[in-house]
Copies of this chain bind each other. A is one copy, B any other.
Amino acid sequence: MKAEATRTQIVEAADRLFYRQGYEHTSFAAIAEAVHISRGNFYYHFKSKDDILRAVIAARLEDRRRMLTRWEAEEADPAARIRRFVEIVAANRADIQNYGCPVGTMTTELAKLGHPALDEAGGLFTLFRTWLREQFTRLGHREQADALAMHVLAFSQGVATLAHAFKDEDFIHREVQRMHHWLSRYSAGAQGTAPVDGPRAGT
């Protein structure tokens, strides 16, 4: 049963390398070296490089799913949950400045490669989108819940891309603050009743 442990190690190393160097640019040999494993032996655990990619995507999906479930347990208020999501870019600022958003960069790369696993990678976006939509719905914004969810996602992608390009930490905090302020318009809680006229322009 040692195989499973090795498999996990491979997936973890590949995850890190795909994130830092990109999928195509990460060679089989590089992963092998990171795990201290023979190159040819890979095919005992995976039948192709695509297979490793799929395992990495599945692992990320599982990980993010667990994260969202944990948030739901820790935060009863949907508004607090959304704030938690917004805080991701601040909490992970170091990685984001160095390598960008794991979801956005991988999706973009796989799209350019015309890789068949693109849809699976897109599932990560859908996971967040669905979860955010659910939180906005609970806040009473049923009609516009999906549009609001997409707006929050766009915020995180925009901030991640620019923080990566400019290595600017202050920028991250400014935009996170901006987003929190915008969110307060849609949080029923301490902010009073929610607006009924739909999403408005604002920071």
Interface residues, chain A, with chain B CB atoms under 8 Å away: 20-22, 24-25, 99-100, 104-105, 107-109, 111-114, 122, 125, 147, 150-151, 153-159, 161-162, 164-166, 168, 171, 174-175, 177-185, 199-203
Contact = CB atoms under 8 A, between A and B. Distances in A.
Nearest to A162: B154
Nearest to A113: B25
Chain A: interface secondary structure? helix
A174 B107 CA distance: 22
A202 B175 contact: no
A107 B203 contact: no
B182 A201 contact: yes
B201 A104 contact: no
B177 A150 contact: no
A181 B197 CA distance: 14
11 contacts: A25-B113, A104-B165, A109-B112, A111-B165, A147-B174, A150-B174, A154-B161, A155-B158, A157-B162, A178-B202, A203-B203
Which 9 pairs of residues, A with B, have the shortest CB-CB distance? A202-B202, A181-B201, A158-B158, A154-B158, A182-B201, A22-B112, A157-B161, A201-B203, A157-B158
B105 A100 contact: no
A24 B22 CA distance: 11
Nearest to A129: B166
A174 B198 CA distance: 11
Given A100-B108, A107-B164, 18 more contacts: A21-B114, A99-B111, A105-B108, A105-B112, A108-B108, A108-B164, A147-B174, A151-B178, A153-B162, A154-B155, A154-B161, A155-B158, A157-B162, A158-B158, A174-B199, A179-B201, A184-B201, A201-B202
